[in-house]
Amino acid sequence: MRKVKFFWWAAVALSLWELLIEPLFAERQTVVCTSGAPLEMQPPGPLAEAAEFLGLWLTLLQPILLALIALWAIRSPARTAVSQRAVGSPPTAPGPAARLLPTTPGTAATLLPTTLGLAFALLPTALAEIEERLSPEAPFWWRECLEAQLTPPSFAVPRLVLAWLLSPATMVVLAGMAAAGIRPRLTDLRNLGTAAAAVMLAALMPGLLVGLPDNADGTPRYVVTGEGLSSYVLDLESGDPVSSLPEATRTYAIYDRIVRDKEPGNYIAAITSPSGGYFRLYRLAMGADGRVTVGERLTPTIKGTVNGLAVSSEGRIAYGRLTDEPGFGVVGTLEREWPANGYGVQWLDARTLALPSHSVPADGVAALDVGTGAIRRLPAPAEHEIYNPFLVLPGGRQLRVLGRPARTLVLHEGTRRIRTLLDLNCGHIESLALAPTGRHMLVGIDREADRMDRSPLAGLPPCGGAPSQLLRLELESGNAQIVPGKQGSWVQAW
């Protein structure tokens, strides 16, 4: 009987602790979130509001309800024992046959308070979970802002186990076991621990073993899009944002350029200072859930504005930067730098960099030999536009965006045009990203024409509809699909 009293009053005390004492020691944080446009917060529905209302009142009344149930449970075994003595039932030693007998009134009298106590101990948590699932999801950037500033909850196994052991629900269960005369053996506890460990491993192993998800055509499902502080991972299948990119440090948090590394799920990022006058290169890694972590820092702080970034098939990194000093700028690898215009730099092979914006005679593109530092002219189509997006495909073919405004995407082999892949009648092509296989690509389209692009000056109608689109394009067939949802026009790496 002492154990029954102890566990019931322990349940009441822990409930009072969670209600009155624990909030006094809770950490308080100030969160500041800014947005360029109003956040559209959808109000919760009636079912979510009902769950919130019931959960609030059950949380406030939980200590009182548990105390009343404790008094009932403590008195019930005493009344049962008195009634058994009154009818003269002799005490019997429990044996194997006794375990097979139907439940006695005394056992039922201990089971009912335990069931009610467990229900009132768990209901506030269950209602909070129901409210969260029934409430509309908060806007993506609001969730990411909170996650970036709030201290994440601890999921350390010892701490979680301790929290459950010292909870009102556990105390109610122990009180019910003590009232029923149940004494778990050591083998029972060992089997329970083994089963709990097996459940935890079964829940964790899929996330550890499964790689990055793919689309039906074999292309990666996630793409890095956006720019600056608004860079994020996008789910191409649903069209929903998955996660924003984390800060490298408190100072370096603005993502200027991001390219795919040679290993799947790895990226190289140029992250700039708030002034934009300095940058660093970092390696990023994406998990199967689309979350990105910042890994190795690859360079010291580099002065200048990054205007090009590329990774070769062997994993060698090249970048372009502008400085305050007069000249075309600088092109560099992790080993050395050369004076040249590195805007839109691309690797042609393991030794040669294409410099599509470097000044060379007409009908050519500049190529830098990273072994010797020599710049030579390579033949290029007469229609080559030095400041439009330009990509080199595996095998040497090249994708060029033509026109002013840039509305035509073509495939070249050397100086020969193979085919036109895309031809827009409004807006312009803002960015390109190639899939790892080289057979698919993403095209970011800005459909809000500039003043000189609008009719009647240019003779072209305005686009109307969505201000920007993201297209998935198959290079062989030319089939294009619009990525669902409201997408921006700047795609970084696929």
Residue range 156-162: mean pLDDT, rounded: 68
Confidence of residue 255 (pLDDT cuts 50, 70, 90): very high
Q: Quick one: pLDDT at residue 444?
A: 94
Q: Quick one: pLDDT at residue 84?
A: 46
CB 473 within 8 A of CB 421: yes
Q: Is 87 exposed, middle or buried (0-12, 13-18, 19+ CB in 10 A)?
A: exposed
Residue range 140-159: mean pLDDT, rounded: 71
Q: Is 42 exposed, middle or buried (0-12, 13-18, 19+ CB in 10 A)?
A: exposed
- The 3-state DSSP class for residue 213 equals coil
Residue range 352-370: mean pLDDT, rounded: 86
Contacts 24+ apart (CB under 8 A), 126-130: 127/51, 127/52, 127/54, 127/55, 127/58, 128/51, 128/55, 130/48, 130/51
Determine the residue type at 271: I
Q: Quick one: pLDDT at residue 87?
A: 45
Dig out the tokens for 11 from the structure.
């349940």
Lowest mean pLDDT among 39-53, 135-149, 340-354, 480-494: 135-149
Q: Please indicate whether residue 175 or residue 360 has the higher confidence score (pLDDT).
A: 175
Question: How are beta strands 440-446 and 292-297 bridged, if at all?
Answer: unpaired
Q: Across the chain, what does the average pLDDT equal?
A: 83
CB 401 within 8 A of CB 388: yes
CB 487 within 8 A of CB 225: yes
Q: Quick one: pLDDT at residue 25?
A: 83
User: What percentage of residues in the chain have a pLDDT greater than 70?
Assistant: 84
Q: Quick one: pLDDT at residue 450?
A: 57
Dig out the tokens for 396 from the structure.
């040497």
Q: Convert 304-369 into a string of H (helix), E (strand) and C (coil).
A: CEEEEEEECCCCCEEEEEECCCCCCCEEEECCCEEECCCCCCEECCCCEEEECCCCCCCCEEEEEE
363 contacts: CB under 8 Å, gap ≥ 6: 379, 380, 381, 382, 384, 415
Confidence of residue 137 (pLDDT cuts 50, 70, 90): confident
Please determine, for residue 124, whether its predicted confidence score (pLDDT) is greater than 80: yes
Please determine, for residue 394, whether its predicted confidence score (pLDDT) is greater than 80: yes
Q: What is the pLDDT of residues 67-122, one digit of tens each?
A: 999 999 888 754 444 444 444 445 444 444 334 334 444 555 568 899 999 999 99
Please determine, for residue 452, whether its predicted confidence score (pLDDT) is greater than 60: no
Q: Quick one: pLDDT at residue 153?
A: 65
Q: Quick one: pLDDT at residue 465?
A: 81
Please determine, for residue 344, whether its predicted confidence score (pLDDT) is greater than 80: yes
Q: What is the pLDDT of residues 294-314, one digit of tens each?
A: 999 999 999 999 999 999 999
For residue 179, the Cα-to-chain-centroid distance in whole angstroms is 48
- The 3-state DSSP class for residue 485 equals coil
CA pair distance 453, 404, nearest whole angstrom: 9
Lowest mean pLDDT among 19-23, 132-136, 199-203: 199-203
CA distances from residue 406 to 326, 413, 425, 433, 434 in whole angstroms, order as listed: 29, 20, 10, 16, 18
Please determine, for residue 407, whether its predicted confidence score (pLDDT) is greater than 70: yes
For 307, how many CA atoms within 13 A lie in the half-sphere containing its CB?
20
Confidence of residue 471 (pLDDT cuts 50, 70, 90): very high
Q: Quick one: pLDDT at residue 92?
A: 46
What structural domains and CATH numbers belong to the chain?
2-24+43-81+104-209 (no CATH), 385-494 (2.120.10.60)
Q: Is 203 exposed, middle or buried (0-12, 13-18, 19+ CB in 10 A)?
A: exposed
Residue range 355-382: mean pLDDT, rounded: 87
Question: CA torsion, points 449, 453, 458, 461, in degrees to nearest 10?
Answer: 0
Q: What is the pLDDT of residues 16-71, one digit of tens each?
A: 999 998 888 877 777 777 665 566 778 888 999 999 999 999 999 999 999 999 99
CA pair distance 351, 154, nearest whole angstrom: 48
Q: Please indicate whether residue 19 or residue 155 has the higher confidence score (pLDDT).
A: 19
Name the pTM for this structure. Answer: 0.70
Dig out the tokens for 279 from the structure.
């940058």
Please determine, for residue 355, whether its predicted confidence score (pLDDT) is greater than 60: yes
List residues bridging with 423 in a β-sheet. 408
Confidence of residue 273 (pLDDT cuts 50, 70, 90): very high
Please determine, for residue 206, whether its predicted confidence score (pLDDT) is greater than 70: no
